Amino acid sequence: MSVASWFLIVWKTWAWLRVRRASKALDDFWSASSVESAVAQLKPHDRENIFVPLASGAAGAATHPASEGSLAAQIDRSELITRALRQRINEAAGKLESGLTILASVGSTAPFVGLFGTVWGIYHALINIARSGQIAIDKVAGPVGEALIMTAVGLAVAIPAVLAYNAFTRVNRLVLGQLDGFAHDLHATLTMGSRLPANT
């Protein structure tokens, strides 16, 4: 469990740093002459594919020709863009949340595994006492020491997993908020031709 949680912690940290690098490149996105050139500018920076699919999906929905008489022809262009943005945000949320269930599971079950080790160690201590017929410190100390070590190992596995889970949940909430703002700006740009002011 410890190896899996530490692998996820390192992997999610690396992914978060890459998303952060991409979010810094969003200012350059808005200085481009068209959405297509802006997507091309953003692509090398967005290695986690969080922002680029959002922009390219919205641009594709804005320019998608609907054949006469089809269901898509009955949908307003603004609604098509909104649907494309919502779908890409949901995909990004799924990508950002991947692995968090494992961290939550490790954080909640590792103390119980440690507790099981504690109970097992105390059980062996009591068995040793029963076999010897007398209470001697050497018969109790070894198994109780092992039991305490199991408790410590369980906590050592659980604590980093819980802290990482909480940190990544917060980071994901911030990134999704940034994605939402980016989606609103894209929607305004593609439907009205103007970007919302930065402070809204």
Q: State pTM to two decimals.
A: 0.78
* Residues above pLDDT 90, as percent of the chain: 38
pLDDT of residue 198: 46
Q: Which two tokens stand for residue 32?
A: 């481009």
pLDDT of residue 200: 39
Q: Which two tokens stand for residue 58?
A: 């919205």
pLDDT of residue 122: 83
CB 26 within 8 A of CB 182: yes
pLDDT tens digits, one per residue of 73-103: 667 788 888 999 999 999 999 999 999 999 9
Is residue 88 exposed (0-12), middle (13-18) or buried (19+ Cβ within 10 Å)?
Answer: buried
For residue 182, what pLDDT band results from cuts at 50, 70 and 90?
A: very high
Is residue 183's pLDDT more than 70?
yes
Is residue 199's pLDDT more than 50?
no
pLDDT tens digits, one per residue of 27-81: 888 888 888 888 888 899 998 989 999 999 888 888 876 655 566 666 778 888 8
